């Protein structure tokens, strides 16, 4: 039985940026005025973890609750400040991020 390796960051700042900008791009691609929408943030984190081994190493199933919450907080902070051209789109994105943060 192989012992699972804990998640370790090689470049945490770049990893957080990649996750945040993937969320922003998904929001811009799928958003429609008045339509309720949600994003798979955990799935995006796992996707970036698998596709960027130069930034994070370890088993993605080994995220500790505190470590996961820390990454989520950093991602939400970075994504929150993104300046959308469409004001309504930006406001809805910020409201969505606030709801996600409250659930942490």
Summarize pLDDT for 21-54 with one digit per residue, the tens: 999 999 999 999 988 999 999 899 999 999 999 9
Going from the C-alpha of 96 to that of each of 2, 3, 43, 83, 93, the distances in angstroms are 39, 37, 16, 15, 5
The model's pTM is 0.89
Q: Which residues contact 52 (CB under 8 A, 6 or more apart)?
A: 15, 18
**For the chain, percent of residues with pLDDT exceeding 70:** 96
* Low-confidence winner among 16-30, 52-66, 68-82, 89-103 (lowest mean pLDDT): 52-66
pLDDT of residue 87: 95
């Amino acid at each position: 039985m192989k012992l699972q390796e804990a998640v370790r960051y090689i470049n945490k700042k770049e990893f957080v940026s990649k996750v945040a900008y993937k969320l922003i791009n998904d929001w811009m691609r799928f958003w429609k005025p008045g339509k309720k929408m949600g994003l798979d943030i955990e799935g995006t984190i796992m996707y970036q973890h698998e596709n960027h081994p130069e930034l994070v190493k370890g088993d993605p199933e080994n995220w500790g609750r505190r470590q996961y919450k820390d990454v989520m907080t950093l991602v939400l902070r970075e994504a929150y400040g993104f300046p959308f051209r469409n004001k309504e789109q930006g406001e809805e994105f910020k409201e969505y991020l606030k709801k996600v943060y409250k659930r942490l």
